[in-house]
């Protein structure tokens, strides 16, 4: 068996995952024909830490707010998640956050339109009092 580095394993896993993603990306409305979109090239990954993880009302409000962002037309695909950890990568996994949201865009310009979109601004205004920390990682495909 060939000895594979962690970096190589992760890169190959991401390549396999994104290859499948290209097939499944579809248009927003069901009225349109199911036409595959081009693979998004810009990702906006945001991590949120609630001030109080035991506050169910704050948890539910932030989750609902994150789900509401999906109405913004520039978003090609979205994933809302919570921390997940396993024994394999436990030493290098930060599981301290409450929610992560990964938004994929067709271009950096679409992400910039999203940032100033009224729904995004309202989300921030309505929910910023709930979190103690937010970290953003943006990347563009090579």
Q: What is the pLDDT of residue 3?
A: 53
Length of the chain: 142
> 75 Cβ partners below 8 Å, 6+ apart?
69, 103, 104, 105, 114
Q: Assign 18 a pLDDT band (cuts: 50, 70, 90).
A: very low
Average pLDDT, the chain: 83
Strands 99-105 and 131-140: what pairing?
A: unpaired
pTM of the model: 0.71
In tens, the pLDDT along 36-46 reads: 455 679 999 99
SS3 label, residue 16 = helix
In tens, the pLDDT along 39-90 reads: 679 999 999 999 999 999 999 999 999 999 999 999 999 999 999 988 898 8
């Amino acid at each position: 068996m060939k000895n594979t580095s962690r970096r190589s394993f992760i890169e190959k896993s991401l390549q396999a995952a994104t290859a499948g993603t290209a097939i499944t990306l579809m248009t927003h409305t069901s009225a349109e024909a199911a036409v595959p979109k081009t693979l998004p090239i810009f990702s906006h990954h945001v991590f949120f830490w609630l001030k109080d993880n035991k506050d169910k009302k704050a948890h539910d409000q932030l989750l609902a707010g994150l789900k509401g962002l999906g109405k913004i037309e520039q978003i090609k695909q979205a994933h809302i998640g919570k921390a997940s950890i396993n024994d394999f990568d436990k030493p290098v996994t930060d599981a301290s956050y409450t929610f992560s949201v990964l938004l994929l865009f067709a271009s950096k310009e679409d992400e910039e339109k999203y940032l100033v979109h009224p729904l995004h601004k309202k989300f921030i205004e309505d929910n910023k009092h709930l979190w103690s920390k937010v970290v953003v990682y943006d990347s563009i495909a090579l």
